[in-house]
Amino acid sequence: MPRDTSGAEALLRDVFGFDAFRPGQGEIVEAVTEGRNVLAIMPTGGGKSLCFQLPALMRGGVTVVISPLIALMRDQVRGLREAGVAAGALTSGNTEEETDAVWDGLRDGTLKLLYLAPERLAATGTQRMLAQAGIGLIAVDEAHCVSQWGHDFRPDYLRIGELRRTLDVPLAAFTATADAETQDEIVTRLFDGQTPQTFLRGFDRPNIHLAFQPKDGPRKQILSFAAARKGQSGIVYCGTRAKTETLAQALRAEGHAACHYHGGMEAGDRRHVEERFATEDGLIVVATVAFGMGVDKPDIRWVAHADLPKSIEAYYQEIGRAGRDGAPAETLTLYGPDDIRLRRAQIDEGLAPPERRAADHGRLNALLGLAEALGCRRQQLLRYFDEDAGPCGNCDLCDRPPEVFDGTEAVRKALSAALRTDQSFGAGHLIDILMGNATDKVTARRHNQLPTFGVGRDLSKGQWQAVFRQMMGHDLMRPDAERHGALVMTEAARPILRGEESIQLRRDAVVRAETRRPAVKAMVSDEDAPLLSALKAKRRALAEAARVPAYVIFPDRTLIEMAETRPATLDDMARINGVGAKKLERYGAEFLSVITGAAEDMHPTRRKLAGREAGPLYDALMQAQAALMRGADGTEKPLSCSASQLAKVAQVRPDCADGLERILGDKRTERFGLAFLDVLAEAG
C-alpha cells in the first residue's frame, strides 16, 4: 500500500541534519518507503545508507539490514544513535549488555533498525526470531557480495533470497559497483529473477582527483605523495602482505602515523587497526584489499596504490573510499610491467572457466587502458560504466595534457623482434636485440644475426621499457605463463604489424617520469584554517570522551561549513548540513562556543526549535509576553506562560482566541491573547 512520504524532508532535516537530498536519493527513498523491491547502484559516498535508514523511520516494524562487516555495522549503529534513532546490531563483537539491549528493543517494539552479518542467517533460529520480530523491510548493503564470481563473494549472501520469501517483505539492495553481469546475479539470487525497480545513479565522483604514474622507485613515489599530505587520513593499497609491513615502517620513519593491515594478521590486531583508523585523525593504513568494504570513514583524504589493482571495478571501489564527505580527495596509482605480468598470470592460472578468464582479461585491459590513457582519465573511466562526460579538469592528464608521438614504427620493431625469436623471451632480452647489445644470451642464441638486431638504437633502454609497458597496457602483447612470462603478440597487434593501423604513445611515459611533489588541495582558505583546526580539536575531545569515531560526532564536511559560514547563534548552527536536532541539542553549544568565543544561553525548549520557523516566533512571543507580564498598565499580578506553552503556540500557530485558549487556558489568553495573535499574524 502506498505510504505518505511527505514527512521524509522533515526527517531528513531533523534527524540527519540535511536540507535536501543528494541527486537521486529522494526517488530511492520514496520507492523503498512505499514498499517496492529496489536495486540501487550508487557511487561510493553517494549516500546509500540514508536510502534505507530514512524509510526505516517512516515504515512500520523493524528494518533488518544485512551488512558484510562488523566494523561497518557498529559505526552505522553509533551514528544512528547519536542522531537519536533506535538502532542495534547482533554481531559476534557485541557485549552481553549490547545484545540484551537489542532483544529488549525488539520485544518492546522500540527498535527501528537491526543490523545483521550475513553469517548470522545460517544460525539456527535466526529466521524464526526475525519472523517474530515484526520485520517490515530487508535492506542489503554491498549487494554485489552475492556474485559468486566477484572478489567480495560471501556465500551466506545466498541465503537472503530465502529470507525474503520466508518473511514476505520488500527488499532493497544497494551496491556501488555492479556491472551488467553482477546486476543479473543480484536479480536472480535476491529477487528470484523478478526485476526490481532499478536505480542507476551515475558513477562519477567529481571530488576525487585521479592520477597514475609508471613505477620509478615506487617506495620513493609513495613517500613523496604522503609527505605532501602529512596529517591527512589515507590508505595505501599493496599487492602483498610483506609490502604492507615494510612500507608502513618506511612511512613511520618519515614521521607519519602509519600502520599495516592484511588478512594474515590476528583478528584482534585487525580490529585494533580498524578502531585506530576510525578514531584517529591523520592515520595512514598500508593494506592489502582485505582492508576495504567495511571502511566507512567519510574523511579519508587520499588513496594510493603501490601496485596495480586487479580490475577496473576493484580500482573504482578502492579509490571510492576517499572523499565520501564530498570534500576534495586525491588518488595515485602506480603500475609497471611486473604488475601486468602478475595480474595476467593470476587470471590465467585461476580455476575459472575460459569465458570467465576472458572477461577478467577484459576488465584488466580496461584498467590498463585507463593507466595508459592519452586524454581525460575520468572520461575513460566513466565510459567503461557506459556514461558520457566531458573532460573533468580534475585528473593528472587534464592538469598536464600528455605529449604524444606516433609510436607505430617502434611497436612494429618490437613485434618483429618477438616474432623472429619465436615469442619465447621477455622484454629485457628483446630490448637488448633492438638496441644491438651483444650480451652472452644474445650471442649464444645468434640473435645478433637477426635483421632486427640494433634497429632500435634511436631509443634508450628506459624509452624501450616504456614502449613495451605501453604495448602490454594496450594488450598488444601478453606475458605467457606457459612460456615463463615470454611476451606473445595478441590479435589486436596484427593490424599494426601489417601497417593497416597506427598507434599513438605518450612521450612523457617514454622519458623517465619526473618526481615532482604534487601540490595538496587545501580543504579551506588560509583565513578559515585555524578555526577548522580548533573545531577538529573540539570534535576529537568529544569523540574520545564518547568513545566513538570522530566523524560520528560531525564529519569534516560539516566542520568545513562551520568554519566557512561561522554561525553566530544556535539557529544559524541548525542550518549547517549534518547538524540534526539531536546533535544540535548535544553538541551545538560546544561548537558554537569555539566559533564565537562564548556559549549561547538558550532554554532547552527553545533549543529544540533552533533552525525552524517556530524558533523566531517563540522569541517574538517571549518578547510580547515580557511587555505584558504585569498587565498592560504594569500593576497587575505577574503572570507568564511556560516554555512548552510558548513552543506549542509557535508550532501550532492558532489564528483565533479559541485556538489560543486550548493551549494557554482562559486566564493567560485574556492577558496575552491579542498581543500573541498580532505576532502570529505578522509572521504570516
Is pLDDT at 408 greater than 90 in this prediction? yes
Closest among 386, 348, 388, 351 to 364, alpha carbons compared: 348
Top CATH class, 404-506: mainly alpha
Give the DSSP letter string of 187-243: HHHHHTT-PPEEEE-----TTEEB-EEE-SSHHHHHHHHHHTTTTS-EEEE-SSHHH
HSE-up (13 A, CA, CB side) for residue 24: 16
Is pLDDT at 606 greater than 80 in this prediction? no
Q: How does strand 234-237 pair with strand 135-140?
A: unpaired
Q: What is the identity of the amino acid at 383?
A: R
Whole-number Å distance between alpha carbons of 415 and 103: 68
Is pLDDT at 581 greater than 90 in this prediction? no
Sign of CA dihedral 562, 564, 569, 573: negative
Which pLDDT score is estimated for 480? Answer: 81
- Chain centroid, CA 361 distance in Å: 26
Please determine whether the domains at 208-399 and 404-506 fall in the same fold group of CATH.
no
The stretch 376-380 carries a mean pLDDT of 93
3-state secondary structure of 34: coil
Contacts of 258 (CB under 8 A, 6+ apart): 248, 251, 252, 283, 284, 285, 286
The helix (H) or strand (E) run that includes residue 114 is strand 113-116
Predicted TM-score (pTM) of this structure: 0.71
Closest among 180, 194, 191, 157 to 41, alpha carbons compared: 180
Which pLDDT score is estimated for 21? Answer: 86
Is the model more confident about 350 or about 256? 256
Whole-number Å distance between alpha carbons of 502 and 608: 69
Please, which pLDDT band fits residue 601 given cuts at 50, 70 and 90? Answer: low
Is pLDDT at 512 greater than 50 in this prediction? no
Whole-number Å distance between alpha carbons of 130 and 163: 9
For 501-522, letters b (16+ CB in 10 Å) and e give eebebbebbbeeeeeeebebee
- 257 Rama sector, left if φ>0, alpha if ψ -120 to 50, beta otherwise: beta
- Chain centroid, CA 449 distance in Å: 57
Closest among 560, 622, 614, 546 to 591, alpha carbons compared: 560
Q: What CA–CA distances, in Å, run from 416 to 340, 450, 463, 652?
A: 21, 10, 17, 85
Are the beta carbons of 318 and 237 closer than 8 angstroms?
yes
Is pLDDT at 34 greater than 90 in this prediction? yes
* Domain assignments of the chain as residue spans, ordered by start: 8-200, 208-399, 404-506, 529-607, 614-682
154-179 tens-digit pLDDT: 888 999 998 899 899 999 999 887 67
How much is the mean pLDDT over the chain?
87
For 181-211, letters b (16+ CB in 10 Å) and e give ebbebbbebbbeeeebeebebbbbbebbbbb
Which pLDDT score is estimated for 586? Answer: 87
Is the model more confident about 41 or about 43? 41
Sign of CA dihedral 128, 129, 134, 137: negative
- Rg for the chain, CA atoms, rounded: 31
Architecture of domain 208-399: 3-Layer(aba) Sandwich (3.40)
Closest among 244, 192, 165, 202 to 40, alpha carbons compared: 202
Residue 246 CB neighbour total at 10 angstroms: 14
Please, which pLDDT band fits residue 519 given cuts at 50, 70 and 90? Answer: very low
- Report residue 322 as a C-alpha cell: 576517499
Contacts of 622 (CB under 8 A, 6+ apart): 646
Please provide residue 7's backbone torsions phi and psi, each rounded to the nearest 5 degrees: -85, 0
Which pLDDT score is estimated for 267? Answer: 84
Top CATH class, 529-607: mainly alpha
Query: How is domain 8-200 classified at the CATH fold level?
Result: Rossmann fold (3.40.50)
Which pLDDT score is estimated for 513? Answer: 36
Please, which pLDDT band fits residue 633 given cuts at 50, 70 and 90? Answer: confident
Please, which pLDDT band fits residue 435 given cuts at 50, 70 and 90? Answer: very high
Is pLDDT at 221 greater than 80 in this prediction? yes
pLDDT cut 70: percent of the chain above it? 94
3-state secondary structure of 94: coil
Whole-number Å distance between alpha carbons of 283 and 332: 17
Closest among 601, 600, 578, 597 to 534, alpha carbons compared: 597
Query: Which of 70-74, 161-165, 518-522 is modeled with the greatest confidence?
Result: 161-165
Is the model more confident about 524 or about 132? 132
Whole-number Å distance between alpha carbons of 267 and 444: 54
Query: Which of 6-20, 405-419, 577-591 is modeled with the greatest confidence?
Result: 405-419
Which pLDDT score is estimated for 520? Answer: 54
Which pLDDT score is estimated for 386? Answer: 79
Is pLDDT at 413 greater than 80 in this prediction? yes
Is pLDDT at 608 greater than 50 in this prediction? yes
The stretch 237-265 carries a mean pLDDT of 94
Edge-first strand listing for the sheet containing 113-116: 87-90, 113-116, 62-66, 135-140, 171-175, 38-41, 197-200
- Report residue 496 as a C-alpha cell: 599494426
Which pLDDT score is estimated for 70? Answer: 78
Considering only the C-alpha atoms of the chain, give the largest distance between any 2 of them, rounded to a whole number of Å: 119
Is the model more confident about 519 or about 197? 197
Which pLDDT score is estimated for 517? Answer: 40
Burial zone of 148 (CB within 10 Å; 0-12 exposed, 13-18 middle, 19+ buried): exposed
3-state secondary structure of 116: strand
Is pLDDT at 370 greater than 90 in this prediction? yes
Which pLDDT score is estimated for 292? Answer: 67
Please, which pLDDT band fits residue 624 given cuts at 50, 70 and 90? Answer: confident
Which pLDDT score is estimated for 514? Answer: 37
Which pLDDT score is estimated for 151? Answer: 65
The stretch 507-527 carries a mean pLDDT of 54
Which pLDDT score is estimated for 295? Answer: 66
Closest among 611, 615, 627 to 672, alpha carbons compared: 627
pLDDT cut 90: percent of the chain above it? 38
Is pLDDT at 1 greater than 50 in this prediction? no
186-208 tens-digit pLDDT: 999 999 889 999 998 778 889 99
Please provide residue 645's backbone torsions phi and psi, each rounded to the nearest 5 degrees: -65, -45
Which pLDDT score is estimated for 294? Answer: 56
Please, which pLDDT band fits residue 508 given cuts at 50, 70 and 90? Answer: low
Range with lowest mean pLDDT among 195-209, 508-522, 574-588, 605-619? 508-522
Is pLDDT at 598 greater than 80 in this prediction? no
Which pLDDT score is estimated for 509? Answer: 43
Which residue matches cell numbers 562526460?
A: 389
Is pLDDT at 2 greater than 60 in this prediction? no
Whole-number Å distance between alpha carbons of 232 and 529: 14
Residue 454 CB neighbour total at 10 angstroms: 14
Which pLDDT score is estimated for 325? Answer: 80
Contacts of 497 (CB under 8 A, 6+ apart): 412, 415, 416, 489
Q: What is the identity of the amino acid at 25?
A: Q
450-477 tens-digit pLDDT: 999 999 999 999 889 889 989 988 889 9
